[in-house]
């Protein structure tokens, strides 16, 4: 039985505790938060779980095997490093750290100590994203032309990180998982509508060597919640609506056929193809529960998580580059290749 301690019982922490409590082989031993009101809620809900306002107690407790950190990103590096140095396995909320350099240090420390380091890019563990990867891998879609995501809603305004760190980060991880190709450049624009706050709306475009273009529209100030991704391929196309209770993924047998016959240069060289639509059945399990099981599996069997520290680091590189481009009103920023493990799947 792996005993885990959770630091932070704010917005996301309760979801971690609730899911961890259901996972075979995992036991929530302790919850830490600076706010005693929140610890009281833990006590009412889970009478058997210890609580503390001092995270050090948890880190120094030798009966604790793993630590999950669900605190603001500015604290990730220090808390994560302390946990690793105490030889704990580490579950870190996204984004892994504020900078690539910090991420690199955590990755190295985890490797040195042979500890599991999982970054909680939850979407990777949803049935929908796994199904999309399966479709892309099987070449059902043909060559990928574009990825176009809208991820908008009202709030939750954050005062320390921009909407890119909060929302676009999901697309950065999904793209990394789906395409197994890293972008070569990024152009981003954004705006903060309130003085002294981070950007609350941004539009980010990623360019890939293979010709793929990816676009991400994120906004904390939208009247409606939208979670919609379009993926266009040469053979088929996908829509992914995460708010749809069933049929989240729809595969369209639609596209165009293009002739590059030079004799047709003055004619229409594009033909349309419209066929059936198909919505594959999708595993509806809660992603966090699958992810928690995967974390246990990695610890017990010495595996590397699908959402490992390197994935976390690549995502931070994109956040940094997009932020730089945004500060320069859309100027394209080049990206260099980062280390990457290939082909992870959930078993």
CB neighbours (10 Å) of residue 243?
11
Q: Does 261 bind a copy of itself (CB under 8 A)?
A: no
Q: Which stretch binds a copy of itself (CB under 8 A): 74-82, 165-173, 265-273, 301-309?
A: 265-273
Report the site for a copy of itself in 274-303 (rule: CB under 8 A): 274-281
Q: Which stretch binds a copy of itself (CB under 8 A): 9-17, 110-118, 162-170, 326-334?
A: 326-334
User: Is the CB of residue 218 less than 8 Å from the CB of residue 110?
Assistant: no
Report the site for a copy of itself in 66-125 (rule: CB under 8 A): none
Report the site for a copy of itself in 204-233 (rule: CB under 8 A): 205, 207, 211, 213, 215, 217, 219, 221-225, 230, 232
Q: How far is the CB of 294 from a copy of itself (least distance, A)?
A: 20
* Rg of the Cα atoms in the chain: 21
Q: Which residue has the tokens 């053979």?
A: 235
Nearer to a copy of itself, 60 or 281 (CB): 281
Q: Does 255 bind a copy of itself (CB under 8 A)?
A: yes
Among 10, 74, 209, 256, binds a copy of itself (CB under 8 A): 256
Q: How open is the CA angle 339-340-343, to the nearest 5 degrees? A: 165
CB neighbours (10 Å) of residue 201?
18
Nearer to a copy of itself, 93 or 148 (CB): 148
Report the site for a copy of itself in 127-146 (rule: CB under 8 A): 145-146
CB neighbours (10 Å) of residue 313?
24
Q: Which stretch binds a copy of itself (CB under 8 A): 8-16, 59-67, 70-78, 192-200?
A: 192-200
Q: Does 263 bind a copy of itself (CB under 8 A)?
A: no
Q: Which stretch binds a copy of itself (CB under 8 A): 38-46, 61-69, 112-120, 121-129?
A: 38-46
Q: Does 11 bind a copy of itself (CB under 8 A)?
A: no
Within 8 A by CB and 6+ apart from 299, the residues are 2, 65, 66, 89, 116
Q: Does 40 bind a copy of itself (CB under 8 A)?
A: no
Instruction: Kindly state the DSSP code that residue 267 receives in the 8-state scheme.
Output: S
Distance CA 280, CA 345 (A): 19
Nearer to a copy of itself, 53 or 281 (CB): 281
> Tokens for 332?
């394209």
Among 112, 114, 260, 336, binds a copy of itself (CB under 8 A): 260
Q: How far is the CB of 330 from a copy of itself (least distance, A)?
A: 4
Q: Which stretch binds a copy of itself (CB under 8 A): 30-38, 79-87, 273-281, 337-345?
A: 273-281
Distance CA 317, CA 337 (A): 10
Q: Give the binding-site size for a copy of itself (rule: CB under 8 A).
A: 76
Q: Does 235 bind a copy of itself (CB under 8 A)?
A: no
Distance CA 315, CA 57 (A): 31
Within 8 A by CB and 6+ apart from 108, the residues are none
Burial 325-343 (b: 16+ CB within 10 A, else e): bbeeeeeebebeebeeeee
Distance CA 314, CA 311 (A): 5
Nearer to a copy of itself, 155 or 302 (CB): 155
User: Is the CB of residue 42 less than 8 Å from the CB of residue 13?
Assistant: no
Q: How far is the CB of 159 from a copy of itself (least distance, A)?
A: 6
Q: How far is the CB of 189 from a copy of itself (least distance, A)?
A: 5
User: Is the CB of residue 65 less than 8 Å from the CB of residue 88?
Assistant: yes
Strands 66-69 and 89-93: parallel
């Amino acid at each position: 039985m792996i005993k885990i301690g959770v630091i932070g019982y704010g917005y996301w922490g309760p979801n971690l505790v609730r899911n961890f409590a259901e996972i075979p082989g995992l036991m929530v031993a302790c919850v830490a938060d600076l706010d005693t009101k929140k610890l009281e809620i833990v006590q009412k809900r889970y009478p058997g779980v210890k609580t503390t306002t001092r995270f050090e107690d948890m880190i120094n407790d030798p009966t604790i095997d793993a630590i999950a950190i669900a605190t603001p990103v500015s604290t990730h590096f220090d808390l994560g490093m302390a946990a690793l140095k105490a030889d704990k396995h580490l579950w870190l909320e996204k984004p892994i750290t504020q900078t690539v350099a910090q991420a690199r240090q955590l990755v190295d420390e985890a490797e040195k100590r042979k500890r599991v380091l999982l970054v909680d890019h939850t979407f990777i563990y949803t049935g929908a994203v796994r199904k999309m990867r399966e479709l892309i891998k099987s070449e059902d879609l043909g060559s990928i032309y574009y990825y176009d995501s809208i991820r908008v809603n009202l709030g939750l305004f954050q005062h320390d990180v921009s909407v890119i760190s909060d929302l676009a980060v999901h697309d950065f991880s999904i793209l990394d998982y789906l395409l197994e190709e890293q972008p070569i450049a990024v152009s981003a624009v954004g705006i903060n509508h309130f003085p002294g706050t981070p950007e609350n709306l941004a539009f980010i475009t990623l360019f890939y060597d293979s010709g793929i273009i990816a676009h991400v529209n994120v906004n904390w100030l939208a009247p409606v919640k939208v979670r919609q991704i379009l993926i266009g391929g040469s053979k088929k196309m996908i829509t992914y609506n995460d708010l749809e209770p069933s049929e989240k993924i729809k595969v369209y047998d639609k596209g165009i056929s293009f002739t590059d016959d030079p004799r047709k240069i003055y004619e229409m060289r594009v033909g349309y193809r419209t066929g059936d639509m198909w919505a594959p059945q999708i595993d509806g399990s809660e992603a966090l529960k699958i992810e928690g099981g995967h974390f246990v599996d990695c610890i017990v069997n010495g595996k590397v998580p699908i959402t490992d520290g390197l994935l976390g680091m690549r995502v931070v590189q994109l956040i940094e580059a997009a932020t730089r481009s945004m500060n320069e009103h859309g100027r394209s920023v080049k990206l260099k290749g980062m280390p990457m493990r290939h082909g992870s799947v959930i078993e």
